[in-house]
Structure 1
Amino acid sequence: MRKFLIAMSALALAGPAVAQDKMQLKIGTEGAYPPFNYYDSDRNLIGFDVDIAKALCDKMNAECTFVAQDWDGIIPALRAGKFDAIIASMSITPERDEVVDFTNKYYNTPPAIAVPKDSDLTEATPEALADIIMGAQSSTTHANYAAAHFADTELRRYGTPEEYKLDLASGRIDAAIDDVVVLSDWLNSEDGACCKILTTLTLDPEINGAGAGIAVREGETELIGKFNDAIAAIRADGTYDEIQKKYFEFDVYGD
């Protein structure tokens, strides 16, 4: 009996040490970008980004918690230590790479333009889109793309995608630019019945970058290595494909 009690005491003492060995990570995401990251009816964060983050944390033997953060402030919040990594469909761009470090990509999809179903627009050239009003979420590669490629288009920037969707549906703007998956997801819903995809756009590497990656604070090379190993692992063991099939009918990883 005495030996049993001693053994149990040893396990009790070892328990906290084992728990402490598990890496603790806070993951920043937006929570307003369906189907990648958003809230369900019970205010739980869900979506492709969230499921990928959970799978990566599992591979890394990390205990992860999520922190919702407005998009405009998400990089400053990371740099200030509010969380340890951003998993929020953030494109790996040269501009962002100056202030944060990135993992390898975990998906790569092109931008697209949506217009009302009764729109007279038939193509997305600078001439065709001159003098119209186009909506985009601020501080995104999509807003930057519109500014660079459609200089004569009036660009209206919004804090969240929901805001430009409302304005496009109500006729206050003529078009909107965003990720093709985000727009398609909206257009397939009741709220998006107003509109259609005009066209997908050719990726601009200088603006759109090399796909969506995980951002961490500069110099966190060990953490980047762990995330990259985990990305490779979920790609290899079929976890990535299982998650992808929940949200998409095509491969979002890209070439």
Structure 2
Amino acid sequence: MNRTIAAAAFAALGLLGLSASSAFAQEKLTIATEGAYPPFNFKQADGTLAGFDVDIAKALCDNMKVECKIVAQDWDGIIPGLLAHHYDAIVASMSITEERKKKIAFTDPYYHTAGALAVLKSAPLAGNTPDDLKGKTLGVQSSSTFSTLIEDKYKDADVRQYGTVDEALLDLVAGRVDAVMADKITLTEWFKKSGNDCCQLAGNDIKDSHYLGDGVGIGIRQAEPDLQAKLNKALANIVADGTYKTINAKYFPFSIY
């Protein structure tokens, strides 16, 4: 059966495009990333998407022998876009949490990270506990795991939500917020590029599996076990053959797997 006939048959059944199986039949996966979360995902000067997430997505597609189309999607709309079938999967540094699993499914984790708090060197904090942030202005990316944690546990802080972590960090440098909470890897990379002149980390690593999840996974729609299994197998393959290690070393001097 050629693709034209197959498409007509599926359309007649009202099933065309409603599952990941159609993506595999077309030998193509459309994957969404944010494009605003360096070094994991970002837009280069020419507008193309790059970063750790993007390289991992391409490696998975290569291993699965499918064409890979990667699109940018704002963070707040990334899960709704998946549920609306605008793409097949999310590779965007999304933590695996119980709250998110109520809406979507995840693959096995493809990296792990803790949270951290960046503050100005000119106005250091003793730590990053709710007591340390009492009465302080705290910046965070909206709709993130850190946003949920802060809303529940840092009730005495003046919380400001931002579209991206970079926007929050710009306000930190400008002195418009006292601190920014984000994942430690992102903040560490920021310190290497520019943040070290003005800022430093406060307190220990922030670890809370209830809010921050059990690693970062690839988001897919629920009830798509075939796609989940294929992605998990591909992930295991690129870890085993050294591809993952090569990508990891391109961005980080330490393993994040």
- Whether TM exceeds 0.5 here: the answer is yes
**1:175 alignment partner in structure 2:** 179
1:187 Cα shift? 1.6
1:195 pairs, out of 176, 193, 199, with 199
The one-letter code sitting in structure 1 at the alignment partner of 2:236 is A
Kept in 2, the 8 Å contact 1:32–1:160? The answer is: yes
Higher strand share: 1
Superposition pairs for residues 65-76 of structure 1, below 5 Å?
Answer: 65-76=69-80
The one-letter code sitting in structure 1 at the alignment partner of 2:71 is V
**2:159 alignment partner in structure 1:** 155
**2:96 alignment partner in structure 1:** 92
Q: Which moved more, 1:159-168 or 1:197-206?
A: 197-206
Kept in 2, the 8 Å contact 1:110–1:200? The answer is: no
The one-letter code sitting in structure 2 at the alignment partner of 1:173 is V
For structure 1, which runs of at least 5 residues remain unmatched after alignment? 1-12, 14-19
Identify if the C-alpha distance between structure 1 residues 167 and 202 changes in structure 2 by more than 3 Å, giving closer, same or farther: closer
Structure 2 residue matching 1:106: 3-state secondary structure: coil
Task: Name the % identity.
Answer: 47
2:32 pairs, out of 16, 28, 35, with 28
1:21 Cα shift? 6.0
Structure 2 residue matching 1:222: 3-state secondary structure: helix
Question: 2:138 & 2:118 partners in 1: Cα distance?
Answer: 9
Deviations 1:43-67 (A, max 9, x none): 1111000000011111101101011
The one-letter code sitting in structure 2 at the alignment partner of 1:92 is I
**1:246 alignment partner in structure 2:** 250
**1:63 alignment partner in structure 2:** 67
Question: 1:192 & 1:23 partners in 2: Cα distance?
Answer: 45
Question: 2:203 & 2:230 partners in 1: Cα distance?
Answer: 37
**2:85 alignment partner in structure 1:** 81
Question: 1:236 & 1:242 partners in 2: Cα distance?
Answer: 11
For structure 2, which runs of at least 5 residues remain unmatched after alignment? 3-23
The one-letter code sitting in structure 2 at the alignment partner of 1:223 is L
Question: 1:23 & 1:146 partners in 2: Cα distance?
Answer: 42
**1:227 alignment partner in structure 2:** 231
1:120 Cα shift? 3.2
The one-letter code sitting in structure 2 at the alignment partner of 1:79 is L
Question: 1:199 & 1:44 partners in 2: Cα distance?
Answer: 36
The one-letter code sitting in structure 2 at the alignment partner of 1:247 is Y
1:179 Cα shift? 0.6
Structure 1 residue runs of 4 or more that deviate by more than 3 Å after TM superposition:
none
1:124 Cα shift? 1.6
Question: 1:187 & 1:62 partners in 2: Cα distance?
Answer: 37
Kept in 1, the 8 Å contact 2:127–2:204? The answer is: no
Deviations 1:85-134 (A, max 9, x none): 00000011111101111100000100100001112312122222110011
1:39 Cα shift? 1.1
Question: 2:167 & 2:204 partners in 1: Cα distance?
Answer: 21
TM-score, normalised on structure 2? 0.87
Question: 1:130 & 1:21 partners in 2: Cα distance?
Answer: 55
Structure 1 residue matching 2:125: 3-state secondary structure: coil
Q: Which has the larger radius of gyration?
A: 1
1:192 Cα shift? 5.7
The one-letter code sitting in structure 1 at the alignment partner of 2:89 is A
Deviations 1:164-202 (A, max 9, x none): 111101000000000111111112113663211223433
Length, aligned pairs only: 235
**2:117 alignment partner in structure 1:** 113
How well do the aligned residues superpose, as a CA RMSD in angstroms? 1.6
Superposition pairs for residues 98-137 of structure 1, below 5 Å?
Answer: 98-137=102-141
The one-letter code sitting in structure 2 at the alignment partner of 1:46 is A
1:215 pairs, out of 215, 219, 243, with 219
